[in-house]
Amino acid sequence: MTDIFEKCRNFTVARQLMESGIYPYFKALESEQAPEVMIQGKKFIMFGSNNYLGLANDPRMKQAAIDAVNKYGTGVAGSRFLNGNTTLHEELERKLAAFKGREAALIYATGYQMNLGVVSALVGKGDVAVVDKLDHASILDGCRLSHGEIRRFKHNNVADLDRVLTDIGPDHGKLVIVDGVFSMEGDIAPVPEIAKVCKKHGARLMVDDAHATGVLGKGGRGTCEYFGLDHNDVDLVVGTCSKSFATVGGFVVGNADIIHYIQHLSRSMIFSAALPPASVASIAKAIDIIESEPQRIQRLWDNSAYLMKHFKEWGLNTGETKTPIIPVVIGDDEKAFSLWRMLYDNGLFTNPVVSPAVPPKRALLRVVVTATHTKEQLDRALNIFEDCINKVLKTKTPLVK
């Protein structure tokens, strides 16, 4: 007789990393998300957070959350569909739609739930979801939950997208889904070219702005602002509220009739409790701050450029990044974990990324600065990098001279 728990007992990969002292996950922070954090009583420079604009510990964000709790309580105890809808949620949706330049918006409890709900609501039997091979896991899982077919095209390869859509033909509904910014390596999807191919084949286009909102475009409005596109080019924009908006939640924006349909067919929204009032108010406050303080976006890019300048001078492989997400590509999993451990031991928090989050033999350290890191913190972090890289990688020609 087969025991379904046998796979659990045979799962040894994480234990092996723990025993070797290079297990990098589930570190318990003892402080708020800030340029420096506390872990087990030790201070670390935080280069592993998606708190791009540094709003997660902003006093105004905290106060907005407190005010919402005082008025609406700690939770809504139900789905938006039934008792969990508040004026706060509806006000935020109007603000989000205006921020993104769309007719309507819909808020979810998490970004993951949003992609599950939006994709599975739109892609039905006889339809095809067409995804970039490196799209986020939540997009792929949303496709799997749908009753449609899934087709993939080569990463950021418009010609291959054209081939896939040609093969599908005109008799199927088609939804092309891409990340605006790819979260592990920081490259940007060629959305204008993708949009042209979609129109050629009668396909609809959905862009995930999880890592583009608050980052791309002069006003931080994301991929469409960055490329100068509008609703005629990109049908739906989705995203998460756990990065630049510095709390939790997910959103979709688009034409009002499409949002209305999703609102009534999206299972992950209908059958989940609504986003707590504190998070709803925090997102609204984050939008206010982003609109009134565009200099935060510039500081984010300036800090990133300062770090990248040194990495390039050292000859590090930073892939095809075009954003403040900087991948330091190592290749070998063990070396990536070892470099992470040495940086960690010296007070620098980064994220090691291995397959399946990146292709095999492309292990990397994901390094992200925020708008609120100081030059002194950046210089201190660079000194740690410079001291650690060659010790771990042991290349014949030092990467840092």
Assign 162 a pLDDT band (cuts: 50, 70, 90).
very high
Q: Please tell me the total number of residues recorded for the chain in this structure.
A: 401
pLDDT in tens, 275-315: 999 999 999 999 999 999 999 999 999 999 999 999 999 99
- Check pLDDT > 90 for residue 74: yes
| 164-200 residue pLDDT tens | 999 998 899 999 999 999 999 999 999 999 999 999 9
Average pLDDT over every residue of 98-119: 97
> For residue range 315-338, what is the model confidence (pLDDT) as tens digits?
999 999 999 999 999 999 988 999
Residue-wise pLDDT tens digits, 348-367 = 999 999 988 888 899 999 99
CB atoms within 10 A of CB 320: 12
pLDDT at site 395: 52
7-32: average pLDDT: 91
pTM value?
0.95
Complete domains list, the chain, with CATH: 8-46+294-393 (3.90.1150.10), 59-292 (3.40.640.10)
As a whole number of angstroms, the distance between CA 143 and CA 150 comes to 7
Mean pLDDT for the chain overall:
95
Cβ atoms 152, 177 nearer than 8 A: no
